[in-house]
Amino acid sequence: MTAGDDVLLAVRDLKVHFAVGSGMFGARSTVKAVDGVSFEVRRGSTFGIVGESGSGKSSIALAVMRLLRISNGRVHLGGTEISALEGDALRRERRRFQMVFQDPYASLNPRKRAGDAILDALNLMDVGDPSGRPERARELFLQTGLRPEQLMLFPHQFSGGQRQRIVLARALAARPELVVCDEPVSALDVAIQAQMLNLMLRLQQAFGLTYLFISHDLGVVRHMCDEVAVMYLGRIVERAGRDALFARPLHPYTLALWSAAPSFDPRERGRGRRIRLQGEPPSPVNVPAGCRFAGRCPHAQAQCRAFEPELRERASGHWVACHRVDDHGVPDYPLG
């Protein structure tokens, strides 16, 4: 994978491992939350990462933001290797990449007025002339669908959707190039989710934003993302453009996810019947040999349990890690 000029975020062989256990009565174990993930995000696009709980998708978001320690690998933002930065050098680059967290109720200081939350971000990032920052905070309120008179209110005086708009306004205060979104609408009502997602798309167009978008909701991913990666147990098992991935998923795990999504048209390929997976994902402490999905895959063979498949481009722009998909993107198991 070679980054071009249109690539803003490049992640190379990213690993996030945690040591668990006290170590007093035996060796400490290692949780492999992210275990060798690579992808690129083009400028002005939205790259989605989807997977069930425990797949490692939120750990990727936090690692890219340098909020989790990176065990191995590199993260480049434009021409800067942000994974190598520390201290003041990292703080100087912070204005280029910001984050919207999942829970709007936990993301704001309850003792700070909404306007001060944004003003603090402007001051911290040293954005513009100090005398113009209050007006900039007011503009961000308007751009995110809030009213100027609400600048003086406290977080408890806002609804969940309004709080998430404040969080988004705060993230945009530094005029970032990249916004990392970790389940940004999952805590909101469905009707409010749609409003928030459409707002994010409008702001992306207005400011040329690039989103790294983490979600478990396939409907949200389909609405927001240009390219999608599917994760399972710390690895990407399939990656493709949105249209290609939703029209013709190739990995058995992706196909199972798609078949279980209630919001999709059942006439689409792979939606003729519900694929019910048996068992639970293996522990990230004891990762099995071979394909990590083999123990739950209805199409697994001996080679799947013996050798881990490589994530390779099987069709143009369509990457799959599966022994049963050939180099032309043709699976030897039934898709329907």
* Residue in 150, 173, 174 with CA at minimum distance from that of residue 163: 150
- In this prediction, residue 26 carries a pLDDT of 60
Residue 31 has pLDDT above 80, yes or no: yes
- In this prediction, residue 222 carries a pLDDT of 93
CB atoms inside a 10 Å sphere around CB 88: 8
Would you say residue 71 lies in a domain?
no
Residue 29 has pLDDT above 80, yes or no: yes
- In this prediction, residue 269 carries a pLDDT of 46
**φ and ψ at residue 232, rounded to 5 degrees:** -145, 120
* Angle of CA points 120, 126, 127, to nearest 5°: 90
Structural domain count, the chain: 1
Task: Specify the pairing of strand 210-215 against strand 227-232.
Answer: unpaired
Would you say residue 79 lies in a domain?
no
> Rounded distance, CA 44 to CA 7, Å?
9
The answer to whether residues 204 and 168 touch, using CB atoms and an 8 Å cutoff, is no
Tell me the per-residue pLDDT of 120-165, one tens digit each, with 9 for 90 and over: 999 998 888 999 999 999 999 999 999 999 999 999 999 999 999 9
**What residue type is assigned to position 217 of the chain?**
D
Would you say residue 334 lies in a domain?
yes
* Exposure letters 146-167 (e unless 16+ CB within 10 A, then b): beeebbebebeebebbbbbbbb
**φ and ψ at residue 332, rounded to 5 degrees:** -100, 25
Q: Which carries the bigger pLDDT value, residue 78 or residue 2?
A: 78
Domain carrying residue 303 = 254-336
- In this prediction, residue 334 carries a pLDDT of 76
**φ and ψ at residue 306, rounded to 5 degrees:** -100, -35
Would you say residue 175 lies in a domain?
no
Would you say residue 335 lies in a domain?
yes
pTM flag (> 0.85):
yes
Tell me the per-residue pLDDT of 218-227, one tens digit each, with 9 for 90 and over: 989 999 999 9
Mean pLDDT for the stretch of residues 12-29: 80
**pLDDT, averaged across the chain:** 90
Weakest mean pLDDT among 31-35, 103-107, 132-136, 316-320: 103-107
Question: What is the length of the chain?
Answer: 336
- In this prediction, residue 4 carries a pLDDT of 60
Would you say residue 248 lies in a domain?
no
Task: Specify the pairing of strand 210-215 against strand 178-182.
Answer: parallel
Would you say residue 172 lies in a domain?
no
Would you say residue 328 lies in a domain?
yes
Tell me the per-residue pLDDT of 197-217, one tens digit each, with 9 for 90 and over: 999 999 999 999 999 999 999
> Rounded distance, CA 33 to CA 57, Å?
9
Mean pLDDT for the stretch of residues 172-195: 92
